[in-house]
């Protein structure tokens, strides 16, 4: 008898997750919840040290993953070599908390002079508690990830599917070398 009740509750939870989760996943993003803005650049030896600012305009925590720094060569966008963020560990994953501004510096190489540059990154919304229940079921049963805990109150973190964001296109201003900047003081 208890087994039937548990199975009925599980079926009800799955139906509820599907009924609530599908309309939420179909909503489009009118504007990006996180924006990226080019701040400044410094000629750092031969490569360029470029600073970017990420702003979270929501009440949710978002994870950021840098996909590529690209420059335009004719009609085609090509990836340039980059390393960063300079002020953080070697991985490219960062969190932006609600209403916060995150500043990160990247070392860019192989950029032609006066190239149009853009940054592509993915954002992932942190889904705590019941907000992540549908995503937990989706990861467990659709993606086959057996290690995902189905308990919505688990301490394991769950994130939404990625949304790819592209920054505004900017051109590199005329750079002064760091030696010229310190010598001019």
Beta bridge partners of 96: 62
**Looking at residue 25, what is its pLDDT?**
45
Q: Which residues contact 95 (CB under 8 A, 6 or more apart)?
A: 61, 62, 63, 64, 126
* Structural domains in the chain, sorted by start: 2-183 (2.60.40)
Beta bridge partners of 124: 63
Task: Name the strands in the sheet holding 48-56, side by side, starting at the edge strand that comes first in the sequence.
Answer: 34-43, 48-56, 101-109, 81-83
**Quick count: other Cβ atoms within 10 Å of Cβ 172?**
19
Q: What is the mean pLDDT of each run of 10 residues along the chain (185 residues)?
A: 74 64 46 80 74 87 86 86 60 76 81 78 88 89 86 84 85 52 41
pLDDT at residue 101, rounded to an integer: 86
pTM of the complete model: 0.65
Residue 34 CA to residue 43 CA, distance in Å, equals 28
């Amino acid at each position: 008898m208890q087994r039937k009740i548990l199975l009925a509750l599980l079926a009800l939870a799955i139906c509820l997750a599907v009924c609530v989760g599908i309309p939420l996943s179909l909503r489009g993003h009118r504007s990006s919840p996180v924006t990226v803005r080019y701040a400044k650049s410094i000629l750092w030896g031969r490569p360029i040290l470029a600073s970017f600012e990420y702003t979270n305009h929501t009440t949710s925590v978002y994870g950021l993953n840098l996909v590529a720094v690209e420059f335009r060569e004719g009609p085609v966008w090509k990836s340039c070599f980059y390393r960063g963020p300079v002020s953080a560990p070697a991985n490219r994953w960062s969190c932006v908390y609600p209403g916060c501004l995150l500043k990160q510096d990247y070392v860019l190489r192989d950029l032609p002079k006066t190239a149009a540059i853009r940054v592509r990154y993915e954002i992932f919304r942190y889904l705590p508690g019941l907000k992540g229940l549908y995503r937990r079921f989706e990861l467990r049963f659709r993606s086959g990830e057996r290690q995902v805990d189905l308990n919505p109150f688990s301490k394991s973190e769950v994130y939404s599917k990625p949304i790819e964001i592209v920054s505004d296109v900017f051109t590199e201003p005329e750079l002064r070398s760091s030696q010229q900047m310190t010598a001019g003081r």
